[in-house]
């Protein structure tokens, strides 16, 4: 499980859902959609210290020029190591906000020509990030 530390900057509520904007140590913003509101969860308030949690299998990697896509949670980093298996590869990244692990298919790792020290863009869907106080 990947863990990044941040602070809640903004909460937008719609019904029983909240879009929570979290500022990370490098001042970048990550967003998470949660099934809670400030009325139902005491940890949801502006200024609260929070952890962003997301599975290694939910990290999408990109290289070079990014296409226009809807993923808004983006973190630049570089490849520290790659453990290639027959089907699955584990890619360890170093970023300004902490280390991130991505588990992707070996075919995808080869298609991207991933190598140590290569710059990559890690992306995570908003609905795949959990919050923990």
Q: Quickly count helices (H) and strands (E) in the chain.
A: 1, 10
Give residue limits of the domains in the chain. Answer: 2-132
Residue 62 has pLDDT above 70, yes or no: yes
CATH topology of domain 2-132: OB fold (Dihydrolipoamide Acetyltransferase, E2P) (2.40.50)
Residue 108 has pLDDT above 90, yes or no: yes
pLDDT in tens, 69-84: 888 899 999 999 999 9
pLDDT of residue 86: 94
CA-based angle 71:73:75, to the nearest 5?
Answer: 120
CB-CB contact of 28 with 72 (8 Å): no
pLDDT in tens, 15-49: 999 999 999 999 999 999 999 999 999 999 999 99
Residue 63 has pLDDT above 80, yes or no: yes
- As a whole number, mean pLDDT of residues 84-100 equals 96
Residue 35 exposed, middle or buried by CB count within 10 Å (0-12, 13-18, 19+): exposed
Residue 133 has pLDDT above 90, yes or no: no
Residue 68 has pLDDT above 90, yes or no: no
More confident site: 120 or 68: 120
pLDDT of residue 65: 67
pLDDT of residue 66: 61
Average pLDDT along the chain: 94
């Amino acid at each position: 499980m990947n863990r990044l530390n941040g602070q809640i900057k903004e909460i937008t509520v719609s019904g029983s859902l909240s879009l929570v904007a979290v500022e990370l140590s490098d001042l970048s913003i990550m967003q998470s959609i949660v099934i809670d509101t400030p009325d139902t969860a005491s940890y949801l308030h502006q200024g609260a210290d929070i952890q962003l949690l997301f599975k290694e299998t939910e990290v999408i990697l990109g290289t070079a020029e990014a296409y226009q896509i809807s993923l808004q949670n983006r973190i630049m980093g570089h490849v520290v190591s790659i453990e290639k298996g027959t089907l699955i590869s584990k890619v360890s990244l170093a970023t300004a906000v902490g280390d991130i692990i991505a588990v992707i298919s070996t075919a995808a790792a080869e298609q991207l020509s991933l190598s140590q020290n290569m710059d990559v863009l890690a992306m995570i869907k908003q609905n795949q990030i959990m919050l923990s106080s």
